[in-house]
Every structure is written in structure tokens, then in C-alpha cells.
Amino acid sequence: MAQQHDDHLLFGEAFTLEREVGGRWQTVAADVPLYFTMEGLGVPPRSQVQHTYSLTGYPQPLAAGEYRIAITYYCDVSYPLYAEFTIS
């Protein structure tokens, strides 16, 4: 995540895995209930961080297609953030 503002941003471990089907994003159902810890991860002003999300609990292997991880980050209010990737 690259942060280009003068405020601190906050995000966490919770995420949703989505797959593009017919031009629309659909949530991928997990094989088991997923639980996330609720700590906040900070991004200082004008900095960059890397974070890895585990896909354990989702069908393996994932079918070929376009996917994205959807998270929420906070800076006074909440905003969606997406990281897209392709499985071929």
C-alpha cells in the first residue's frame, strides 16, 4: 500500500476474496468459517507498506480467473481498497 497523504492510515487483517464473473465482482465463499484478529496496522504519512493475506480456508487451488482482495482502510472515515491479481 502506497500512502501519499499527510495523515496516518489504518487497516487490518479482515478481507474479502472476490472473483470477476461476467464483468461483475462476486465474493468467493470460504470452505470454512474465517476469523480475523482485530489489530490495526498503521501506514505513516507518505510511506509504503507491504502486507500479505493468507488464502487458507478458500478452495484450493483457485480456478483460473481474475481475483481481488478487498479491504477497508481508515482515515477519519472508511474507504475500500482492492488488490487485483490473475490466476492462470
The SS3 call for residue 76 is coil
Give the C-alpha separation, 63 to 28, whole Å: 11
Terminal CA-to-CA distance of the chain, rounded, Å? Answer: 24
pLDDT in tens, 27-78: 999 999 998 988 888 888 888 889 999 999 999 999 999 999 999 999 888 8
Distances in Å between the Cα of 25 and the Cα atoms of 17, 78, 79 are 10, 20, 17
Query: Do residues 53 and 23 touch, judged by C-beta distance below 8 A?
Result: no
Q: Are 34 and 62 in contact (CB under 8 A)?
A: no
C-alpha cell at position 81: 481498497
Whole-prediction pTM: 0.86
